[in-house]
Structure 1
């Protein structure tokens, strides 16, 4: 949700124009220029210094669109700034709607994207000064974000970003995840080179690196992260079955132990898949909620339609399907060959697949 704030006569007209074009925005402007229809439209009026209003809105909205001079905005928001991961996007529009300026949280907060959107609505010129956007190159802090990729840590985001925009040798190693991450209509800059493996990249001695993998790196590979960022794409599909009443602790332990044995990262789990009889299985629901993993359910008929290596008459007698974890993992991932066909541990049965491509 965005807030649009105006304090001048012309600014109010721009805000009202955005009211019609941004359905998810809340409009705020000074009562000095009230039109009389604000209550009907749900437009908020305020009196007094806008500085006090901004202090309230800063933490309440995902983004602020301010039709106020840039210098005034900088002075007013300066005491409110906390962290680029939590500060809202701030966009400024001049009083004639000729320029829309990305001011704060351009990448992580989405101000650059919002600037382009608002500029398009107003037929204005977007003003974006973020180096990676201007140079049409990779934004390290946003790399793979649209696909749900996660950083392993953020310590090297700034130096790696500097290497990218300063046209130093930057290596990309991608072992898994979506491949259509380059969205510009120009070629990838020549300073960014792709390598087939971490070992190959290390041999090339790059100045910085972007590594995209679901694997836990081996000791001899970790040097790539001295000035590198490790991204975790969502590619691990877990098929799971369990006895009724199995605790969340046991289910979680089996998943963690299994992925550790496979040398896979928990951050790369894309989904848990099981039979629809488990829709009310509290332990399974608790684990999915804890890690924010989608929990996918299939009917017995859907599972039986998937060829499996180890059908079980016993499982069929209980749930009507010849398997749960194996066919569930295969069905969701679209893979016939699994990384782990089936492993039984206590009350839990687990299968693991790697997802490839778009869904």
Structure 2
């Protein structure tokens, strides 16, 4: 064996695997466009700063833009609310789980915080391992949701309709009347690493919670 040539998943571990094989005298052949052009991909930026790309479906579009020009990196200090469109990669400090949240109009911060805690308890996970909250952009003006995320020291990310509807949630949702396939479940899976629900849509009063890993 003389060469290690990643065929798929170059930015998702294959390039790193090929480079490690160099220790055995095997020549790595890296052909992903960003590396060939001497530019850092989104995944490399995340790795170098010990961050996680929470919306991995965005990286193809962003890496394509990196090939054409310098893409700015915006560093946001908390507390802040992030609105992410398909062409924006969101990098955050590592979080094992993503909590998708749906809520009724005017839901209070106490209701959201209680639902998050009960959801984590039901899923058998620690709140400290779930610091990414996701919901629809249609909930952008819900003050209770924003305040709850701030008090729980979580990253709150609002997703556009396209990102949400790219998912295939297992549960039916009344959000269909808003043109969405759901809220809590698709928001959770859209930003999770594996896209696997460990807690399907569960209603706690006026709040709906789903958790994905």
1:276 Cα deviation after fit: 0.2
> How many angstroms apart in 2 are the aligned matches of 1:147 and 1:289?
22
> How many angstroms apart in 1 are the aligned matches of 2:150 and 2:194?
26
1:147 Cα deviation after fit: 4.5
Match of 1:292 among 143, 153, 159: 153
**Max Rg structure:** 1
> How many angstroms apart in 1 are the aligned matches of 2:135 and 2:151?
17
1:309 Cα deviation after fit: 0.8
User: C-alpha offsets along residues 140-190 of structure 1, whole Å, 9 cap, x if unaligned?
Assistant: xxxxxx748xxxxxxxxxxxxxxxxxxxxxxxxxxxxxxxxxxxxxxxxxx
1:336 Cα deviation after fit: 3.4
Q: Are 1:326 and 2:185 counterparts?
A: yes
* Gap change, CA 1:268 and 1:147, over 3 Å in 2: farther
> What count of residue pairs does the alignment treat as equivalent?
123
Describe how 1:162-177 pairs up with structure 2 within 5 A.
none
> How many angstroms apart in 2 are the aligned matches of 1:300 and 1:264?
28
Structure 1: 4+ residue segments shifted above 4 A: none
Using the size of structure 2 for normalisation, the TM-score is 0.54
Describe how 1:168-317 pairs up with structure 2 within 5 A.
234-312=95-173, 314-317=174-177
5+ unaligned residues in a row in structure 2: which ranges? 1-48, 52-93
> How many angstroms apart in 1 are the aligned matches of 2:194 and 2:207?
22
Match of 2:203 among 337, 344, 347: 344
1:320 Cα deviation after fit: 1.8
5+ unaligned residues in a row in structure 1: which ranges? 1-145, 149-232, 355-359
User: C-alpha offsets along residues 333-357 of structure 1, whole Å, 9 cap, x if unaligned?
Assistant: 0433210121112111110012xxx
Using the size of structure 1 for normalisation, the TM-score is 0.33
Describe how 1:126-141 pairs up with structure 2 within 5 A.
none
Describe how 1:39-118 pairs up with structure 2 within 5 A.
none
> How many angstroms apart in 1 are the aligned matches of 2:208 and 2:130?
17
1:237 Cα deviation after fit: 0.6
Task: Answer whether contact 2:101 2:209 (CA < 8 A) is retained.
Answer: yes
